[in-house]
Amino acid sequence: QVQLVESGGGSVQAGGSLRLSCKSSGYIMNYRAMAWFRQAPGQEREGVASTAMMSDTAYEDFVKGRFTISKDRAKNTLYLQMSSLKPEDTAMYYCAAGLENGLSLREKEYAYWGQGTQVTVSS
């Protein structure tokens, strides 16, 4: 049973930074792709950033230049470095992993999900 556990969320002022972590119980290089999604209250979950086996990456436009996705194979951990945070970045952030498909920011491509970590950005 694959388990993904997120950490690193918290409260920060606009313009600040946070680094989210996602620890996998399995070897992360077994996944075709991993990604970060987020869901704000009353809104649908949306993709944020994705990385695939060869460490290629994809970002939604609203985080380009501010967020960086990366992974540490030795630690079986996925990261999301978030900088220049805005109040509209406030959401629950989820880590996801998939075995079948490559780089993607679509929810249906991912079979495994973490429980989420809350990020709150105040103005």
Q: What is the mean pLDDT of residues 90-119?
A: 95
Tens-place pLDDT, residues 20-72: 999 999 888 889 999 999 999 999 999 999 999 888 999 999 999 999 999 99
pLDDT at 44: 97
What confidence score (pLDDT) does residue 118 get?
98
The dihedral of CA 88, 89, 91, 96: what is its sign?
A: positive
Show the CA angle centred on residue 117, arms to residues 104 and 10, nearest 5°. 125
